[in-house]
Amino acid sequence: MYYALFRWFPKSGLTRLAGWLADRRWPRGLLAAFIRQYIRVFGIDMAQFAVPLEGFATFNAFFTRAVLPGARPLAREADALLSPVDGRVIEAGQIERGRLVQAKGISYGLADLLAGDPEWMRYDGGGFATLYLHPRDYHRIHTPCAGEVTRFRYVPGDLWTVSPAGVTQVPGLFARNERWITFLRTAFGEVAVVKVGATIVGRIRVVYHSGVGHAWGAKSLAEALAPPVPLAAGAELGRFELGSTVILLTRPGEAEWLPLQPGDAVKMGERIGRIRGKR
């Protein structure tokens, strides 16, 4: 029903409008009142963030707020695979025969998710976790381990909601929505961090390229970085300017995942798996 009702809804136009409004410099009193209400509705603990409520010039600046140093400590284990975001698990498990689980009874293709990347098959049989960022969450995205960004792909796409209605009713949701895919070469192999756009997700940004997801006139990109961009474990990789979902992928034999279950809460920097060693 949801799919039929919203198939032709102007999701892109609504999303652009939301992004534009989030970037406006509202009268300071009005902005502070709106942010204060947002904090109350979603139960946000502002004590963990670096800038006080009155310090934001736009709603987008508030939404992408930085945490205080030490507020997201990294797991101490040297072989830890870290959660790249604050969020909740939608699904997690093994990629089987080129398919990932979207929700109970629904799967989608690995090749579609990775937009036909020439090395997509190397992830078949590996692990994945789909992590949803709630409006109350910290919305910066970090590296799950140390490595270097060797290539990326940006895919303009649909903007279906990643709420339960979308996840359970829109076929192939994560492989048809807008995506920014980062490939991180590591000491043990490679991981892919897929940032998924959605309704009201104004933009996706990354630290290693000036391109912006869902900007006016955005086109598909597939680029190798020369030289690659090195990033430490837990370093900022990008951010959502409103919204959304991250899918983390590992290749077979390169990492062992903890038994994540749908609904589990994770914090950026927590251990969600174990790196198996150099390859």
Q: What are the residue numbers of the active site?
A: 86, 142, 244
Question: Could you tell me which residues come within 8 angstroms of residue 249 by beta carbon, excluding any fewer than 6 positions away?
Answer: 95, 123, 126, 127, 128, 191, 192, 193, 194
Bridge partners for 265 per DSSP: 88
* Burial class for 130, CB neighbours closer than 10 Å (0-12, 13-18, 19+): buried
Tokens coding 123:
């992830």
Which is it for the CA torsion 47, 53, 54, 59, positive or negative?
positive
